[in-house]
């Protein structure tokens, strides 16, 4: 067991380093001041100010110090953008300067030591990984080619919900199975979880738990990331948990990769019909720009796709249905719109979505109030620069508070109210898009490191939300009332509900609609 004297000695050395670092900052003071911010504590800086829900705490601090704010976290300068205009400065005007990620324990211990797409250093290798995803998985052609698979999995979900009878269901779990299987059939050529019905699937529950744990751990502000001399102590136990989780995830994706190699080695005609087969083919055939892929990089890509591409979509749809349960008039309006376009004798398809303007407004409003990533993944300044008259030091970490931006009272009327009409003609923001060009709502980020799977995520969220709205009425368990539904947030890298949504789905379409289509 570590001796008390050794711990005290380590803290003493860290304190001396902290003093020297701040002395160097004072001696090298730039002609422009740093952005304003709260006074940091010795050694740990502003880390104690973050609290259990950092996106909310940082938003509250920005209301005091302004939308461009400086925090000192350990030895690291952290710059916060908490308004659309400030975010545009970083992610548009100075995007190239903030295209890298800062060092962090999540990338080191979970994401294969920065060998994935999300955390890889910006450069030739990153561009190659991004190109592979864009061509084989997220291009318009690829999305259209695999449209039928997404629709089939949504039909399976609809059948499972219709067959629930009087038993309440945890909607988020079934949504996660649906999104994972839809992605699995595109990426692997098969479902990840059984038949997709969600009935007593221990593997699905384990995977969901792993993804949620990953998002929780990745959302922790780990002291070791900000005070490197304390990293080895792992004071919060975060690194140990990350290493243990990585072993489970590596085993999960390693088994998928090895099985795919064996099944695809016999010259099967379907060998190149899924994303993983395309990745495996790149092991031996250089892509021309970045070289060959390793097994580790392939597993890292699977990790990115199956974590960022499943939980974010399912949790967003869960928030949308919760909001509509709280606003039954809006649910009825959406159902009327979909009935007029689709009727009651079939399910919604992706081809119907462009005609569903109110449904699209509901999805935008859900992204606004409940962004799946409330604090953007951090970026790092490659060089010092000036933003709005303030000095931004080289090496500083940038955090964009997406949650605060989309609730800014200077931009949004009644920002805490769920009002989809604000995105319709005649509303306050009828032309705002969520694809990274309008900084008032940036659930997928913006700039060079915008979410690679944005187009797929939009399609999946819209299709799932439209189908659940169209196919069912929604009741809460006995004793619960819509106006008192718990809407508290549980913080992680993704924005989960503190209390999972438990509901009774009531079919409202022709009975023949609820049969499986696969």
> Do residues 47 and 78 lie in contact, with contact meaning Cβ atoms separated by under 8 Å?
no
Distances (CA, A) of 511 to 128, 151, 238, 347, 508: 48, 18, 50, 11, 8
Name the pTM for this structure.
0.90
Q: Are 495 and 373 in contact (CB under 8 A)?
A: yes
Strand partners, 77: 72
- CATH number for domain 31-514, candidates 3.40.50.11720, 3.40.50.720, 1.10.630.10, 3.30.1130.10: 1.10.630.10
Number of DSSP helices (H) and strands (E) in the chain, helices first: 18, 11
Phi, psi values for residue 400, rounded to 5°: -100, 120
Query: What is the full per-residue pLDDT of the chain (518 aa) written as tens digits?
Result: 455 555 555 566 666 655 555 554 544 456 789 999 999 998 889 999 999 999 999 999 999 999 999 999 999 999 999 999 999 999 999 999 999 999 999 999 999 999 999 999 999 999 999 998 998 889 999 999 999 999 999 999 999 999 988 889 999 999 999 999 999 999 888 888 877 666 666 777 788 788 889 988 988 899 999 988 888 999 899 999 999 999 999 999 999 899 888 876 544 444 447 888 888 887 766 444 456 888 999 999 999 998 888 889 999 999 999 999 999 999 999 999 999 999 999 999 999 999 999 999 999 999 999 999 999 999 999 999 999 999 999 999 999 999 999 999 999 999 999 999 999 999 999 999 999 999 999 999 999 999 999 999 999 999 999 999 999 999 999 999 999 999 999 877 889 999 999 999 999 999 999 974 44
Query: Backbone phi, then psi, for 94, in 5-degree steps?
Result: -110, 30
At 398 the three-state DSSP class reads strand
Closest of 470, 506, 513 to residue 337, by C-alpha: 470
Please tell me what DSSP assigns to residue 53. Answer: -
How far is the C-alpha of 126 from the C-alpha of 117, rounded, in Å? 6
Q: Is the dihedral of CA 104, 106, 109, 115 positive or negative?
A: negative
- The DSSP call for residue 479 is T
List the one residue out of 149, 157, 140, 151 whose CA is nearest residue 187: 149
Q: Please state the domain extents for the chain.
A: 31-514
């Amino acid at each position: 067991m570590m001796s008390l004297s050794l711990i005290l000695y380590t803290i003493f050395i860290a304190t001396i380093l902290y003093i020297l670092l701040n002395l160097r900052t004072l001696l090298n003071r730039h002609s422009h001041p740093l952005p304003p911010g709260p006074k940091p504590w010795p050694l740990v800086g502003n880390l104690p100010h973050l609290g259990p829900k950092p996106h909310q705490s940082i938003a509250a601090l920005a209301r005091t110090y302004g939308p461009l704010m400086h925090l000192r976290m350990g030895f690291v300068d952290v710059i916060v953008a908490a308004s659309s205009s400030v975010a545009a400065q970083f992610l548009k005007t100075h995007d190239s300067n903030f295209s890298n990620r800062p060092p962090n324990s999540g990338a080191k211990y979970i994401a294969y030591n920065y060998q994935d797409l999300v955390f890889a250093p910006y450069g030739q290798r990153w561009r190659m990984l991004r190109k592979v995803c864009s061509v084989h998985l997220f291009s318009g052609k690829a999305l259209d080619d695999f449209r039928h698979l997404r629709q089939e999995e949504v039909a399976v979900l609809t059948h499972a919900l219709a067959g629930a009878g009087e038993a309440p269901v945890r909607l988020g779990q079934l949504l996660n199975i649906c999104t994972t299987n839809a992605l699995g059939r595109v990426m692997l050529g098969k479902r990840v979880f059984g038949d997709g019905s969600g009935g007593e699937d221990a593997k699905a529950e384990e995977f969901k738990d792993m993804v949620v744990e990953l998002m929780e751990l990745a959302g922790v502000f780990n002291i070791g990331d900000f005070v490197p001399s304390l990293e080895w102590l792992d004071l919060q136990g975060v690194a140990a948990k990350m290493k243990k989780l990585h072993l489970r995830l590596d085993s999960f994706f390693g088994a998928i990769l090895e099985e795919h190699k064996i099944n695809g080695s016999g010259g099967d005609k379907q060998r190149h019909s899924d994303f993983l087969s395309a990745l495996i083919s790149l092991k031996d055939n250089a892509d021309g720009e970045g070289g060959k892929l390793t097994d580790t990089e392939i597993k890292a890509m699977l990790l990115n796709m199956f974590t960022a591409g499943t939980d974010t979509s399912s949790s967003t749809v869960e928030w949308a249905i919760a909001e509509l349960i709280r606003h039954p008039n809006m649910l009825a309006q959406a159902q009327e719109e979909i009935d007029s376009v689709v009727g009651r004798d079939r399910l919604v398809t992706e081809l119907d979505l462009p005609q569903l303007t109110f449904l699209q407004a509901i999805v935008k409003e859900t992204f606004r109030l409940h962004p799946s990533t409330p604090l953007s993944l951090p970026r790092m300044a490659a060089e010092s620069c000036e933003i709005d008259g303030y000095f931004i030091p080289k090496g500083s970490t940038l955090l964009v508070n997406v949650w605060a931006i989309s609730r800014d009272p200077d931009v949004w009327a009644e920002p805490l109210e769920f009002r989809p009409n604000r995105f319709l003609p005649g509303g306050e923001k009828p032309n705002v898009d969520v694809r990274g060009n309008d900084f008032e709502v940036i659930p997928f980020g913006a700039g060079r490191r915008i979410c690679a799977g944005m187009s797929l995520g939009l399609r999946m969220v819209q299709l799932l939300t439209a189908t659940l709205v169209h196919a069912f009425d929604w009741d809460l368990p006995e004793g619960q009332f819509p106006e008192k539904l718990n809407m508290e947030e549980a913080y992680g890298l993704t924005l989960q509900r503190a209390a999972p949504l438990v509901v009774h789905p009531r079919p409202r379409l022709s009975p023949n609609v609820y049969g499986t289509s696969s």
